[in-house]
Structure formats: structure tokens, C-alpha cells
Amino acid sequence: DKVTVISGTVTANGGTAAGTNDAYSYGVNADNVTITGGTLTATGGTAEAGGYSAESYGIDAFYNVSISSGEVTATGGNNAIYALENVIISPKEGELIGVKTGENADAAAQIDGSPFAEETTITDLVTNEKYFHSEAMYTVTVETDGHGTASASPTSAPAGTTINLTATPDSSYRFERWEVVSGDITIENNAFTMPAGNVTVKAIFEKEPGGEDTYYTLTFDTNGGSDIDSVRRISGTTIDLSDYTP
């Protein structure tokens, strides 16, 4: 008995369960539950029992719950997810998976280690939580041409998130433009919408009109080692000393 979600949207509601002794309401109930894509929303309903167990789970698995992509939201009166063995996060190549849990959606927070970049067992981190949400996330890499600094906020996010970019030029330079190195995005007003894939952008700077670089001369006292000629460079230049012999 296995439930697998690979694409599309699946909504599973447990409804009301009532019993003289035990009562259980599950959004999803199977030996193994696997999500490799798409969207799964699983909600445990109301359980009413005469004198014994009354349990409500969003997802109940006799063995494992495995999530490798997509978006999963589970809610239960007792546990959002109950797995007799493990809850496993195993991101696809090029993706991260963010996980947050809590008493409810408003109180949910990212669990330790989230977002996850490699396979991780998170059973102990989600046990007894009534709300669970996971989603595929992607990374933003920011490069520069060497004449300033640049950053993105946030640096990882699910598709649809607004990413804000900041560029700060070095002295005598000014910001010119953003260059899209990789990713299906359009940058407007220093921001873009995160696609379902990783993104790399590059900040391009230009000299200010009339701006001139300041050069500095560096001389070396080698204290008996091999001679090193003086060099004249602008601030921030890397100088190769690999030929020096002590």
C-alpha cells in the first residue's frame, strides 16, 4: 500500500471519525508515502472515540514518508505527520527543500537545518507537531565584475518569491546594470521573481566620469630572500608572490 505524488495537485481530507472504542481520521494513510513533485495537502479531521484512542493525522505512514520535491502541507489534531519509521527529506539535484512546523500555519517556523541540500532524516524534528509544510527552494548566486559588492535577499527561496538585489560600487565607480548569467528571470527595479530553478546574476559597474584610479607603490624587504621588484598597483589588486624564495 503506497501513495506517490509526482505532479498535479492532491487534496486529502480525513473528515470525521467516530467509534465506540477507537477512532482515527487521516488525510493520507498508507504503508509508504512519497512526494517527488506536485502539491499535496493532507488534513486529518475530527476523531471522536468512546473511551480509548481518538487520533487525527494529516499523513500517517506505517513505514516512511519521503519528500524529494514539490510542496507538502499536512495538518492534524495530534500530528501533522506520523511515520512509524522515518520522515526523510532527499532534495533533487539543483534544489533545496525548506521545512517548517508548528502548532498551526501562523506559528510555524523553519526547523533546524532547513533548507536542506542533501538527504536528511527529520523524524525527531517533526514529531508531535500539528502543522507541517515543505517546499522546493532554489538558490541565488550574486557575482560582480570586481569593482564593487553585491547581494541578494533572500539567497534561497521557493518559486514565486520576490528577490531583492543590492549593489554597492567601489570608490570612483557607479553601478551600471545587472547581468543575468543563468536563470529565466527579468530584473526590474533591482528585483525579480524567483523561477523554479537556480539563478546567477552579476553586478556590472562603470567608472564615474572623470574618476581616476589611485595607484600605490609597494616595495619589499626580503630579509635575505630572493629579490622582489617593486610593484605599482591600485587598491584591491592581488599580487602574486609565488616566485619568492626565502
pLDDT digits (tens, 9 = 90+) for 105-116: 999 999 999 999
The answer to whether the CB of 216 falls within 8 A of the CB of 226 is no
Q: At residue 182, what is the residue type?
A: S
3-class state of residue 37 by DSSP: coil
Question: Which residues are bridge partners to 182 per DSSP?
Answer: 200
* DSSP element (H, E) containing 19: strand 17-19
Is the pLDDT score of 125 beyond 80? yes
pLDDT digits (tens, 9 = 90+) for 153-172: 999 999 999 999 999 999 88
**pLDDT range class, residue 86, cuts 50, 70, 90:** very high
Q: How far apart are CA 155 and CA 217, in angstroms?
A: 39
The answer to whether the CB of 12 falls within 8 A of the CB of 43 is yes
Q: Could you give the dihedral angle defined by the CA atoms of residues 144, 148, 153 and 158, in that order, rounded to the nearest 10 degrees?
A: 0
Quick one: cell of 180? Answer: 543575468
The phi and psi torsions of 61 (rounded to 5 degrees) equal: -125, 130
Quick one: cell of 234? Answer: 591600485
Percent of the chain whose pLDDT exceeds 70: 98
The pLDDT score that the predictor gives to residue 235 is: 72
CA distance from start to end of the chain: 71
DSSP H helices in 111-240: 123-126
The pLDDT score that the predictor gives to residue 71 is: 97
Residue count of the chain, please give it. Answer: 246
Question: Which residues are bridge partners to 29 per DSSP?
Answer: 60
The pLDDT score that the predictor gives to residue 212 is: 62
Among residues 152, 150, 148, 176, which one has the least CA distance to residue 163?
152
Quick one: cell of 205? Answer: 559597474
Mean pLDDT score, 129-133: 97
Q: Which residue has the cell 589611485?
A: 214
The pLDDT score that the predictor gives to residue 213 is: 66
Among residues 25, 24, 59, which one has the least CA distance to residue 40?
59
pLDDT digits (tens, 9 = 90+) for 208-241: 876 566 777 878 887 878 787 787 777 777 888 7
Quick one: cell of 117? Answer: 541540500
The answer to whether the CB of 60 falls within 8 A of the CB of 87 is no
